[in-house]
Amino acid sequence: MAAAHGLRSALGLRLALALGLLAALLAGPAGANPIADSQSQVGPWRVGAYTRGTTTVFDHCALSRVQSEGFAIAVGYTASGIWVLALEAPDWGLTPQETYTTSIVVGPTGTYRFTGRATSARVLVVNASPEMFGDLRSGARFSAGANQHSYSISLDGIEAASTRVRECVKHYATSAAPPAASSAPAPSSTSSALVSSIQVLLSRLGYDPGPPNGTVGLKTNMAISAFQKSLGEPGDGLPSEAVRQKLEKVVAERGGAAPPAPRPEALRPEAQRPEPPKKSGAVSAGTGFHISPDTLITNFHVINGCTELHIRKNGAELGIARVVAVSQSDDLAALRSNIRSDSYLKLRAGAPIEPAEAVLVFGYPLPGALSSAGNTTLGNVTALTGMRDDSRYLQISASVQPGNSGGPALDDSGRLMGVIVSKLNALAIANVTGDIPQNVNFAIKVSTLSAFLEAHKIAYETDSATHPLSNTQRAERAEASSAQIECWK
């Protein structure tokens, strides 16, 4: 293992040790090396990229923090969407290669028991289920006990660090050019298609795996794990052909003659199934809003796969936008345009969002059917988390339709409190429960958005003022700052 790479202090040495052991876990017994210039500090967390063994092939990114008593937590994220946990404590007295039962508590309610493998007398690599990683959030404390010794550490700032880790994986997985002789094969279109079919099937059963984009993220891991546990299985959260077959069987049992999700061979890239060239044109549309005169925010799934992004308002085209930053896992995208807006939204700051708060949603739902000037709906915050307690989201009662995706959710002072992302799949839930849910919609929290913006160094303004506005004033502010985003292919 490389010796500390410039981290001179004892704290730095311990951090390098924790990250190096996590790297060894993910890359195999050959060990791993940090990638040059990949290390950065995000608040109290160290983030960096690591190679596969001693080669130059990218393998994973990791975040780590060490407290003064020497307790360290390291979380790794691979290009295939798998999260891994490693822990270090000075007096655990572990026997290398032995397994230990680990008790982990996250925040006031998240209690877990896992098995871990000791890699040294003080380091434990934990086989944690995906659900636990969804509980790692800023403001919580993380406690772990093994071999009759327990330690605790603050998770402050972990959401921003996790965003940086995901972006780190995206950057190095797509930009690295490993030597042909030693590189691992890139994920095939078939494996991507397998993930897409699993995501479609999970959605039909009422789970929330995120958009069916063929990319494994934490939401997909958690949805697979929840499905596996519903069958009495351990729930490793990993996609496989066996998982797809079990999902297909359950869909058929619960939905009668429901057709199976597309097989991998049916989801191959169009380049493998030649067709006559198609004329470019608008194929879908969503909503975006300005956070500065030239920067708009929308959902990743609104712009995913688009060759051009057209900005429209009141039925008229204003110009073209370009993508400057994305987060697939958080379903966020930032756009830039030479069409400047005098009106833009400021992010809510200074007070946590509370249950039952008023919320106003603006967007361009059902384009071509409803008003080209946009629609405003009112509601309340009904829950402070999303599906399966995902802390990145809010649940709201304001009506949401296709086309609202990427639109703003404003509080009673006209501040941005969230980004509209989805509505519950009512038909899928009805197939499982026999009842149709009412007004169950979701928005990405403003804290998740701010972490995304900070990770990409995109400027924004905050507002801590609490001067209630009328519904009309809020609607005018939302409309003036928003635009329709057309996806052309």
- Domain residues of the chain, as ranges? 4-175, 192-269, 282-488
pLDDT in tens, the chain (489 residues): 333 333 333 444 444 444 444 544 444 434 567 888 888 888 888 888 888 766 778 878 888 888 767 788 888 888 777 778 888 888 888 888 888 888 888 887 678 787 888 888 888 888 777 777 777 888 888 888 888 888 888 888 898 888 888 888 888 877 644 443 333 333 333 367 778 788 888 877 777 777 777 777 767 777 787 788 778 787 777 788 888 888 888 877 765 444 444 444 444 444 444 444 444 566 788 999 999 999 999 999 899 888 899 999 988 888 899 999 998 888 899 999 888 899 999 999 888 999 999 999 999 988 777 778 899 999 999 999 887 677 888 999 988 888 899 999 999 999 999 999 865 544 444 444 454 445 678 999 999 999 899 988 999 999 998 899 999 999 999 999 999 999 988
Per-residue confidence (pLDDT) for residue 147, from 0 to 100: 84
Domain 4-175: give its CATH superfamily: Invasion associated locus B (IalB) protein (2.60.40.1880)
Residue 305 phi/psi, 5-degree rounding, is 80, 5
Give the 3-state DSSP-derived string for 91-133, with helices as H, strands as E and coil as C. Answer: CCCCCCCCEEEEEEEECCCEEEEEEEEECCCCEEEECCCHHHH
Neighbours of 461 (CB within 10 A): 12
What CATH number should be reported for the domain whose range is 192-269? 1.10.101
Domain 282-488 bears CATH identifier 3.40.605.10: no
Per-residue confidence (pLDDT) for residue 350, from 0 to 100: 84
Burial (CB < 10 A; 0-12, 13-18, 19+), residue 43, is: middle
Same fold, 192-269 and 282-488: no
Q: Identify the CA nearest to 120 among candidates 22, 6, 53.
A: 22
Task: Kindly report whether the global pTM for this prediction surpasses the value 0.85.
Answer: no
Distance, in Å, from the CA atom of 199 to the CA atom of 334, rounded to the nearest integer, reads 25
